[in-house]
Structure 1
Amino acid sequence: MKPTKIKTILIGLGRIASKLEKDPYRKKPCTHMGVLMTSWGKAHFEFVSGFDSNPEACELFQNQWKQPTVNIPNGLFQKLNLPTVNLAIIATPSHTHEGIAKECIKMGIRHLLIEKPVAMSSKGAKTLEQLSKSNQTKIWINHERRYHPSYLFVRDELKKGNFGQIKSIRASVFTSAKNPGIAFSKSGGGPLLHDGTHALDLIHWLVGKPKLVHAKMERPKKGIVETRASAYFFTNSNIQITLDVSGGREYFQFELDIHTNSHRIICSNDGFQFFQSVPSKLYKGFQSLELYNPKGFPKPETSNAFLGIYKEIKEVIHGEKSTMEGTLSENIQILESIESIYRNKK
């Protein structure tokens, strides 16, 4: 018997929910609605409605997708007479995630996909975890790189030992915003919480929760969040990790630079590069790193993180799979790592 379609609502109709699908350079689908409106998405999900507190956003969404929307003042919809909903996607501003997720759970929605960060603090995330457990609700957080075939390839090869043993990771998240801290000052949390969470998620995914050794914050003036956050960690297995999240650049870059005892792997929004140790052509008796193409690395046309997370959601809801990536417990640990940086800043 063919499984029934998953009845889905989308809360928040902005960039990651819908608008970025119009970016001509991004690989599609690159938004939640973009996935739901693919032929695969339509075969497995039934879109019920979109919700937003901004009437203009609702109108733009309707014009783009020809799908129903509801304008809800302050983003509240608990009193609406909704049909049975299997999945709620929460793509609203970060500071609203926790409250809207609680509303969804109380309404009886048993599967949630929430944009990162899941909450503004680990305390809020723990409260949400307790509520989800008592109501048997499954929650995914959209750290989408976990589902990207290229990142999955790197992690799997590291687990197999094909790239050697990790010795150090340098993570950097750079933006062109001159004062990124000012942009977040009203809702709380700075670039570290809103953007650096992606880098910390991958670090936790690859090597587990690290222990903070040193952290530094930069603020242009008193009373606003950081414009730069730098941190230095070690793991229990003595892997050295450095993190730099900041603006003020003339470019955007997200990058993990992984060094093992025999390889170097650069994972970046600009592409992936692989180096292996070979006899040096410059220094007799030494080894050097040489660029190469590892066997089995996914082709760009097969790589899409958004499809990956939705395929997992479909499989879990239909009982085809029991395990989940990026659990709420893991995201609590990520928030704890972020809070340790804020707390121990110099």
Structure 2
Amino acid sequence: MKPINVGIVGIGRIAAALEKDKKRYKPCTHLGSLVALKKEGKPIKLVAACDIREEAFFNIPTEFQSAKKYFSWQEMMNHHDDMDLLVIASDTYTHYEILKKALQRNIPKIVVEKPVCLLPKEAKKLKKVYARSTSKVWVHYERRYRKAYRQLKDILQTSSYTSFRGLLVLPQQNLFRTGKKEGALLHDTTHLLDLCFYLFGDLVRKKQVVSQNACRYFLEFEKASGILETILHKKLFHFELEVLTEKTRYRIGNGFSNQEAVVESPLYENFFSLKEAELFTHENFTQEDNPYLNLYRNVIHENLEQEGWRKTPPTLEKVGGNLSQPSRYKDVPPSRTKLKIWCGMRAKSGFAGFLRLSLAGHGCSGQASLERDSFLDALENVLVLSR
């Protein structure tokens, strides 16, 4: 079996060191996920690793110690035309130049940490480079691959009314970027906004209200409207997304997921209240539930067989129209069994014409929907949260 040659830039906390956190489910890093898949039999080989700090190389797992080590990402790229996958896990301010060069070199697959860049002008330039590149990019928004959010996405396909409220409380000093540091919004609120793109579609309009220690966004998407709120706190870290439909309220956050049913009020006539209901999903964060592993399984085209959510994203094949601008929906490999659906659509991204949508015949739950391109969403994420 042909090896999957991997290179990585940045070997710090999210690349590998977080595996030492005894309270985290494992794996919870880029290299930790690749090691786990290697143990499952995937032919993964780390051929090159780069960091500006010599001590960072001690974070490389034993399974990947044979990797060639570099202090310059430019030198690493020049010496490794054999990379099938590049992982960019360096400091955010370095992402733009590394990612731009990787796209220009058409490295087949790229996984990049969030946020993809710091500045709106960088996001706009990357979109143009991406449109000309053959590379496929995954942004490390691992919550898209968490079972609870996947199931919620399926549930919302049949909802006629949806609103949301996202709450993030965290011990940060700054909301916005200061120098090379991205600030709380780009570093953490970006996860909440990405989930909104994933669940609710394109952003239609927004309004921002900022105070000294808090920021609130009023957002309207194609399929829902609501609020994202970020609050700075001395100690507390709390992440939560609440979604309200006509029949149910869902709350999903770090370490919990629950639902409440809309029922006739026991206190007032002609009113309705919320009543705790049975959990809509059961997550054990086993190897099958692990969102980090699921992201990397998607990257290497692993066709998951986990019950409860659609594992194989649909394939978009152009059969007419103009593809001069990148589509918001990603071209991903089909499974062996396909359901062919012909549809005509005109997307805001400039993607017009007829598409053939290939959906997995097995492993689907709920209504099938197109898999959004996380990279294009991530670029717009920067435009919304930066200033």
Unaligned 5+ runs, structure 2: 303-330, 336-357, 359-369
CA distance in 2, matches of 1:36, 1:150: 23
Equivalent residues in 2 for 1:1-346, closer than 5 Å: 4-40=2-38, 43-44=41-42, 45-61=44-60, 66-68=65-67, 70-73=69-72, 75-77=73-75, 80-82=78-80, 84-161=82-159, 165-166=161-162, 168-177=163-172, 179-181=173-175, 185-219=178-212, 228-236=214-222, 239-294=224-279, 297-301=282-286, 302-315=288-301, 319-320=333-334, 325-339=372-386, 342=387
- Secondary structure in structure 1 of the residue aligned to 2:41: helix
CA contact (8 A) 2:168 2:239 kept: yes
String of CA shifts for 1:79-132, please: whole Å, max 9, x gaps.
Answer: 642251100000011111111112323445221110111122343233223323
Inter-CA distance 41–312: structure 2 relative to 1 (3 Å threshold): farther
Inter-CA distance 206–319: structure 2 relative to 1 (3 Å threshold): closer
Unaligned 5+ runs, structure 1: 220-226
Inter-CA distance 136–240: structure 2 relative to 1 (3 Å threshold): closer
String of CA shifts for 1:213-250, please: whole Å, max 9, x gaps.
Answer: 5322345xxxxxxx53222123356x431111232243
CA distance in 1, matches of 2:221, 2:79: 49
String of CA shifts for 1:168-195, please: whole Å, max 9, x gaps.
Answer: 2111121123x2359x522153211121
User: Post-superposition shift, 1:39?
Assistant: 4.7
Alignment correspondent of 1:224? none
Inter-CA distance 336–186: structure 2 relative to 1 (3 Å threshold): closer
Q: What value does the CA root-mean-square deviation take over the aligned residues?
A: 2.8
| Segment drifting more, 151-160 vs 85-94 | 151-160
CA distance in 2, matches of 1:4, 1:67: 18
Inter-CA distance 70–42: structure 2 relative to 1 (3 Å threshold): farther
- Greater RCO, CA 8 A, separation 6+: 1
Task: Write the letter of the residue equivalent to 2:384.
Answer: S
Q: Which has the higher helix share?
A: 1
Task: Write the letter of the residue equivalent to 1:234.
Answer: E
Inter-CA distance 236–31: structure 2 relative to 1 (3 Å threshold): closer
| Segment drifting more, 266-275 vs 123-132 | 123-132
User: Post-superposition shift, 1:165?
Assistant: 2.4
Inter-CA distance 269–105: structure 2 relative to 1 (3 Å threshold): same
CA distance in 2, matches of 1:165, 1:246: 28
CA distance in 2, matches of 1:133, 1:6: 25
Inter-CA distance 57–63: structure 2 relative to 1 (3 Å threshold): farther
CA distance in 1, matches of 2:148, 2:134: 32
Task: Write the letter of the residue equivalent to 1:103.
Answer: K
CA distance in 2, matches of 1:84, 1:93: 24
User: Post-superposition shift, 1:69?
Assistant: 5.2
Inter-CA distance 217–189: structure 2 relative to 1 (3 Å threshold): farther
CA distance in 2, matches of 1:135, 1:210: 25
User: Post-superposition shift, 1:335?
Assistant: 2.4
Task: Write the letter of the residue equivalent to 1:314.
Answer: I
TM-score (norm 2): 0.75
* Number of residues of Structure 1 aligned to a counterpart in Structure 2: 324
CA contact (8 A) 1:62 1:68 kept: no
User: Post-superposition shift, 1:325?
Assistant: 4.7
TM-score (norm 1): 0.83
Task: Write the letter of the residue equivalent to 2:129.
Answer: L
Inter-CA distance 208–310: structure 2 relative to 1 (3 Å threshold): same
Inter-CA distance 79–231: structure 2 relative to 1 (3 Å threshold): closer
